Amino acid sequence: MNNNGTTDGDMATAGEIDPDERAVSDGGYVEAATDTIGHVNATASTDGWRAVVRHIGIVGATEYRLAVRSRWVIALAGLFTLFGAMILTFSGSAVGPEGLERVVASLASLAVYLVPLAALAFGYDAIVGREADGWLAVVLSLPIARRDVVVGTYLGRLLTLTGAVVVGFGFTGVLLLREFGAAYWGSYLQFFVAAIVLAAAFLAIATLISTIAREKTHALGAALLVWVWFVLIHDLLSLGFVAAFSLPDVALSALVLANPASAFRVLVLSGLGATTGGFADALAGTALSTSVLAATLLAWCILPIATAAILIDRRRL
């Protein structure tokens, strides 16, 4: 018993923080780190590719839980639902493929601005933010490869972002299905899948930025510059080249493939009779096939993550 009549045991009990309160105050990072340590130690005897898969799965599941706790999935799903419903409301309701094509073209024009911005905002702190929180240092102190942490972090956030896109644009798809029927729904399904891959591509770019940046503010600034370049400046410059010069199909194709946003827009609009004007319409009639455009978007998902997995070994914590 001390001078004020309180035992040491009472003081320890009084100073003990409830686990739920601690999870709320620190964003769940302490609990997440504890769970990750336990899962990694439980799989320490696993060798080879099975250990890699398990480690990626553990990190991805932890990242997903943290993202859900931060309410990102609810905010993004609400954002996509709101803007999708607005486009559907103001695009008219003409019966037949023309009406649906007009809605899908409008959604594609919206998604090419909104989806990359949401993905970059969601992923810019994937690595540098976890380092600032102290979670990354704890995970990297375990017998787990750094590249597995990068891939797992990306996949965990991708699952969250994909869920938001599915819920948001899926709600719009249900309304379109009710309005136009299933006979004309193929063009919307192509847009829907392409929007998910577009989100994955820009999330991969954001993860690469977060791996390179040393501070969250630097990562945020770089993410905004990437959005401005790919969504605004690149299309304007490309449209200027198309208008000023008679470019061969190879050059036009290279302009599309160099930008995931352009590849997405051309992929969606090339299958529609609707037009929106601008660079995408100028390239919708090029020799680029659907498979080439889809492969380009997938490459934009894989290459930034592969680069980030290589560069993470050079990061000093």
pLDDT at 15: 39
pLDDT-flagged residues of the chain (< 50): 1-27, 30, 37-38, 41-42, 44-45, 274
Structural domain boundaries of the chain?
A: 27-314
Residue with tokens 């999708």: 84
pLDDT at 280: 55
pLDDT at 286: 60
pLDDT at 187: 81
pLDDT at 226: 97
Q: How far apart are CA 93 and CA 185, in angstroms?
A: 14
pLDDT at 272: 72
Q: Give per-residue pLDDT as tens, 222-234.
A: 999 999 999 999 8
pLDDT at 28: 53
Q: How far apart are CA 101 and CA 158, in angstroms?
A: 28
Q: pTM value?
A: 0.82
pLDDT at 278: 52
Closest CA to 140 of 26, 33, 30: 33
pLDDT at 3: 47
pLDDT at 281: 56
Q: Give per-residue pLDDT as tens, 250-273.
A: 888 888 889 999 899 888 887 675
